[in-house]
Structure 1
Amino acid sequence: MFKGFLTVVEHCSICNLDLRKADSGDGPAVFLTLVLGTLLVPSALLLEVSTEPPLWVHALIWPVAITLVASLLLRPFKATMIALQYRHRASDSGTETYD
């Protein structure tokens, strides 16, 4: 589905669906932000309460963790959003039919 890190190919190699019109917009990033906040904020708080590390430890750990998790999950979230657009015939995906 992807030809680059986040660039969508023009056509599906299996069903020949035109994916140029499938634009997920900011949806995947919004959902990813919610997931990251739900997972990493309690983790940071737990680390702070349990070990009370210096501030530089938090400054070292959490930006790396956020970047790594976001990089790993952004493609699946984008693919899921495009699949949902196709499944529910969202008008932005170009899959609606006019009879």
Structure 2
Amino acid sequence: MRREEIIPSAARLTNSLRDLGYEFSNAVADLIDNSVTAGAGKVGITFHFDGPESWIRIVDDGSGMTGASVSEAMRLGTAQDYGEGDLGKFGLGLKTASLSQCRAPAKS
């Protein structure tokens, strides 16, 4: 039996995940779901509207993540155990919510 490792193109896969059709409100909702799963009692959302310089900040008082756990959470195909009350089940929420909003406007 012959085995061959086929590694996906990271750039094409990232673009595909970015273009899944997440609306901004759904992306924000997914990130807030992560806050709830992390045990947050308070979630703060700040919007700053300034054309192309606009931004949003979501902060919570949940259990937090280490640098290593953030890297693992953003890794495609990561294995994770989900608890009975967890809102996520497929390990794509943080990645797709984040990547869906990452298209830079065209430079003129």
More strand by share: 2
Larger radius of gyration: 1
User: TM-score scaled by structure 2?
Assistant: 0.26
TM-score, normalised via structure 1 length = 0.28
